[in-house]
Amino acid sequence: MAELVGPAGHVTTLDIDPAVAERATRFLTETGYDRVRVVTADAEHLPAGVVPDGGFDAIVVTVDTWDLPWIDALAEGGRLVAPLRLHGYHWAIGFTKDEGTLHSDEPLIVCGFVAMQGDGAWQTNVAPSPAPESTCPGKTAPRCPSTNSPQPSPASRP
């Protein structure tokens, strides 16, 4: 990214894992990219001072996501590219911000990325099911739920 924006541009990278951020800082400095700003934070809630005045010209999300909480951090006319989770698949989608709304007329590409951590992590919607009275055979319920037949008594079991 630093090569794309050139010497006058600015690049900020963010990671929730302090070890990853420290390693990125070290390797970027060692390879001559000391102008890249590395921030340790949960991207779901960008810390004050991270977003430049007017917003970012581009945001590239490199973890799978099911939401786009970065719309307000994107400049008008800016681009946001994200692997968005839709209907069980991850789709690489490029958006352009126009009048405060994201628009995309690009083809969707199936992709895969590492899972997001923190507040933005995917939470499976699973409703708990009630526990059965017993599991057959041999528990304490008087009848086996799967067959509605009496459960064998402990003395009659082999």
Specify the pairing of strand 109-111 against strand 89-98: antiparallel
Six token digits for residue 69: 């909480």
Which amino acid, 22? E
Instruction: Encode pLDDT of 56-98 as tens digits.
Output: 999 999 888 888 999 999 999 999 999 988 888 888 999 999 9
The per-residue pLDDT for 63 is 86
Residue 155 and residue 94 in one domain: no
Single out the residue of 41, 44, 46, 65 nearest to residue 56, CA to CA: 46
What total number of domains does the chain contain? 2
Residue 10 and residue 26 in one domain: yes
Instruction: Encode pLDDT of 128-155 as tens digits.
Output: 655 555 455 554 544 445 455 554 555 5
Residue 143 and residue 88 in one domain: no
Cβ–Cβ < 8 Å for 118, 44: yes
Dihedral over Cα of 42, 44, 47, 53: its sign:
positive
Residue 104 and residue 134 in one domain: no
Interatomic CA distance for residues 113 and 82, integer angstroms: 10
Residue 88 and residue 155 in one domain: no
H or E stretch at 24? helix 18-30
- Tell me which of 32-41, 68-77, 118-127, 147-156 is least confident: 147-156
